[in-house]
Homo-oligomer: A and B are copies of this chain.
Amino acid sequence: MDSNKVVENIYLLVIVTLVSVLQNVFFAQKVERECKNQNTRTSAFERVSCANRNCMDAYPTFLAVMWCAGLCLSQAPAAFAGIIYLVVRQKYFVGYLGQTSQSTPGYLFGKRVITFLSLMCVVGIANYLLVRFYGSDYKEYVETITQAATALLLIP
């Protein structure tokens, strides 16, 4: 049952990771299809390849921050923020393909979600240090506030 205890603390994070992997495969298949259908120097291939590359560049950062936030504070808000990030990434990818190359949506995306997850990490570590040096545990309050704050991510 020891192993089940580990799974208990991470299963939401694992689910979000699996969904993100599915999305990665979806992106990669788009690239593959474009790569086979057309010549490799056309604009459509370049755009889908660039969109995929930008998404992949940001992927390890996202995974690291989400897992740290989930382990340090609590997994439900972290997993929820992860889902929102995946939605933002999907929009970014589709937006990249649909528009002309002059108006592509920048290089960065999902800044708000990454910031939120980073703040969760910082708060989790601050709380741990407080417990260690002062013996006062604010984790319950912090978790409640965090769960409320995730709602702010839904604002467009």
Stoichiometry, as copies per complex, reads 3
Contacts of A37 in B (CB 8 A): none
Measured CB to CB, the closest approach of chain B to A71, in angstroms, equals: 6
A61 contacts partner chain B, Cβ-Cβ < 8 Å: yes
Measured CB to CB, the closest approach of chain B to A59, in angstroms, equals: 5
Q: How many residues of A are counted as interface, with CB atoms below 8 angstroms from the partner's CB atoms?
A: 54
Nearest CB in chain B to that of A128: its residue: B7
A28 contacts partner chain B, Cβ-Cβ < 8 Å: yes
Measured CB to CB, the closest approach of chain B to A153, in angstroms, equals: 18
Q: Is the interface of A mostly helix, strand, loop or mixed?
A: helix
14 A–B contacts, CB within 8 A, in A order: A4-B128, A6-B9, A6-B71, A10-B71, A14-B124, A17-B65, A17-B68, A18-B68, A18-B121, A20-B64, A21-B61, A25-B61, A29-B108, A63-B64
Apart from A17-B68, A28-B57, A59-B60, what are 13 other A-B pairs with CB-CB below 8 Å?
A1-B137, A4-B128, A6-B9, A7-B124, A8-B128, A14-B121, A21-B64, A28-B107, A29-B108, A36-B106, A53-B57, A56-B60, A63-B64
